Amino acid sequence: MTIVGVPAGWPASEEEARAVQDELRGRVVLGQPGPPPGTGRVTGVDVAYDDELDLVAAAAVVLDAATLDVVAEATAVGRVSFPYVPGLLAFRELPTVSAVLDRLPCPPGLVVCDGYGLAHPRRFGLASHLGVLTDLPAIGVAKNPFTFTYDEPAPARGSSAPLLAGAEEVGRALRTRDGVKPVFVSVGHRVSLAGALAHTLALTPRFRLPETTRRADALCRQALREAARGRPGAPTRPDGTPSAPPPPGR
């Protein structure tokens, strides 16, 4: 199995990573409506980690937006490319996520990320970054409010309240199920906030989290288990010799 490495020139420090965000931020396209909800394809991407083994597994699951049926899937396994630092999540996930999108047999359509887009300290979260690198329409749907504030949306599914960075609205707290904790939606690239909300609702007919995220989450965990199975911490055969040569760096 090929292991995705860390790209040459990938930021090695937090300072460098923040500079990259400041540089790429200007390439985000806002104000486009984005694809009509319920049409075309919607792709969920997610990542799972094994820091012990220095492995990261990414999955992309393409759904028919109208039926939510799975149209295509792909996985990719890579090495951890950056530590988890709030505000720099993209540098941890992007190399493997880009690789997994490249492996899809069809165009992804709208990409739904597990995390934020505009709702970010420098307004350039994972969904924005991925959108800029691929030029695909992208949105972020997160499970937590991060550092932002919001008022509780009304209890009915579909209700939302502004997600605020001070007085600036950077996204919405959206109730996807009656009486259940909201999700936090923000714009990534080439999609409006209204479009992002509509897509999120179309993807949550039954559960709090989008079908895209749920499918991608299950798949990347499975891919990680399979990758880790082949690479135990101290790989040995019954006779004690190494079971596999060290994987070539990339």
Partner DNA sequence: GCGACAG
Partner DNA sequence: ATCTTGTCGC
Residues contributing to the site for DNA (CB under 7 A): 46-50, 84, 86-90, 114-116, 120, 125-126, 140, 142-147, 217, 221, 224
Burial category of 73 from C-beta neighbours within 10 Å (exposed 0-12, middle 13-18, buried 19 and up): buried
How far are the Cα atoms of 1, 114, 150, 241 from residue 226, in angstroms, in the given order?
Answer: 10, 22, 40, 22
Minimum separation from the CB atom of position 139 to DNA (A): 12
Q: Is 46 annotated as a binding residue?
A: yes
Minimum separation from the CB atom of position 64 to DNA (A): 24
Q: From CA 112, how far away is CA 210, in angstroms rounded?
A: 9
Looking at the Cβ atoms of 82 and 190, the one nearer to DNA is 82
Radius of gyration of the chain (CA): 18
Give me 44's structure tokens.
């969920």
Minimum separation from the CB atom of position 32 to DNA (A): 21
Q: Is 50 annotated as a binding residue?
A: no
Looking at the Cβ atoms of 65 and 112, the one nearer to DNA is 112
Looking at the Cβ atoms of 51 and 69, the one nearer to DNA is 51
Looking at the Cβ atoms of 171 and 195, the one nearer to DNA is 171
Minimum separation from the CB atom of position 147 to DNA (A): 5
- In this structure, are residues 153 and 181 in contact, taking their beta carbons and an 8 Å threshold? no
Minimum separation from the CB atom of position 12 to DNA (A): 17
Looking at the Cβ atoms of 22 and 84, the one nearer to DNA is 84
User: 41-50 and 55-64 as β-strands: parallel, antiparallel, unpaired?
Assistant: antiparallel
In three-state secondary structure terms, 54 is coil
Binding annotation: 46, 114
Point out the annotated binding site for Mg(2+).
46, 114
